[in-house]
Amino acid sequence: MSDVRGIGLDLCEISRTHEMLDRPAFIKRCLTEQEQEYLQSRGKMASESLAAMWAAKEACLKAFGTGIVVPLTDVEILHDNGRPCYCLHGKAAEMLGDGKLFLSITHEAGIAAAVCIWTE
């Protein structure tokens, strides 16, 4: 059985991210091209998806115990047949090492939440 190295939890108000959709510089700075494409495919659900991705990125860095010390594009949120998962790049991948990350995302009543578990 794998040992847990860290747990991260984050919440994000969906109304906050709705405003961010109209800020291309913010989107480019925080999301990879694949994440941006996913967001564009979400239509009316784009705000919820952005809030969930933001919460997932923050949850990952909280699991590492670091806060935002890497470019947010180093923590990529992908979807494997609808299941959210992480794909880390650069310094974030170095921090992960041989470990594994598990991700759960939800959104309801104006709030998105994400939980990240980092195991050996």
26, exposed or middle or buried, with CB in 10 Å at 0-12, 13-18, 19+?
Answer: middle
| Catalytically annotated residues | 62, 107
The tokens of 68 are what? 């935002």
For tokens 């990529």, the residue is: 76
Torsion (CA) 88, 91, 98, 105 in degrees, nearest 10: -40
Phi, psi at 105, each rounded to 5°: -130, 145
SS3 5: strand
Nearest alpha carbon to residue 31 among 50, 59, 58: 50
